[in-house]
Amino acid sequence: MAHLIVAMDFPTAEDLLQCAKAIKGTVEWCKVGLEAFVLQGPALISRLEDMGFKVFLDLKYYDIPNTVAAAVRTASRSGARLLTIHTQGGEAMCRAAMEAAKEAGDKRPLIFGVTCLTSFADGQMPGIHEPVSGFARSLAGMADSWGLDGVVCSGQEAGYVKQNTSLMALCPGIRPAGAATNDQARVVTPAMAVQAGADFLVVGRPITRAASPAAAASAILEEMAR
């Protein structure tokens, strides 16, 4: 059964915590990304864990292997259950991230490699002339051979990942039928992502900007279960 993760992208701590209270009990996982982390730091992760959430820390590390390993080590002590790095950081960086995470033992966070951002359509990735989905699939194959736990990919690539690798697939770019796509390009509906075998669905604005975030989350969970 796939898990729903709500992307808590908010400009203030008050707004974020108000949404967290609203979806508490409905959703098990939430995502702390760049905006919230820069605003509030690791204390926010503890706060959300104390409220009962499992926290996905989405900082998408991309740096030299030593720096990424150190950042993974620090994040592993934050209570986050899942971290992201960029698969395009290459083999040495990805392997260093995994080794650093494993130092945390049984309680280590899962390490997922971002393949191609879901906001990229064909022709928009600098230097990449092949279709974005094809490039994302190639990166997933590499992530598998480098021993990552999973990849971040669009729902359009999740089927390939589940059928051809041993990786878990975490999919942003999820939009219920008829919802605004915003800046996302490679979107699928919650039902399509589940059908493709996605392990985690990340949904932000369709839930966080809804009049009732809890009702929007419940509707997506119902669609995922159907």
60 is catalytic: yes
Q: Which stretch binds ligand C5P (CB under 6 A): 46-54, 127-135, 199-207, 210-218?
A: 199-207
By CB under 6 A, name the one of 69, 101, 117, 132 that touches ligand C5P.
117
CB of 7 to ligand C5P, least distance (A): 4
Stretch that binds ligand C5P, among 68-76, 124-132, 161-169, 200-208 (CB under 6 A): 200-208
At closest approach, how far in Å is the CB of 171 from ligand C5P? 9
- For 55, the enclosing helix (H) or strand (E) is strand 54-61
The pairs formed by 60-66 with CB atoms below 8 angstroms and a separation of 24 or more are 60/34, 60/84, 60/85, 60/86, 60/114, 61/85, 61/86, 61/89, 61/97, 62/86, 62/88, 62/89, 62/93, 63/89, 63/93, 64/93, 65/89, 65/92, 65/93, 65/95, 65/96, 65/97, 66/96
Q: How many residues bind ligand C5P (CB under 6 A)?
A: 16
Q: How far is the CB of 56 from ligand C5P (least distance, A)?
A: 10
Binding site for ligand C5P (CB under 6 A): 7, 9, 33, 58, 114, 117-118, 152, 172-173, 182, 184, 202-205
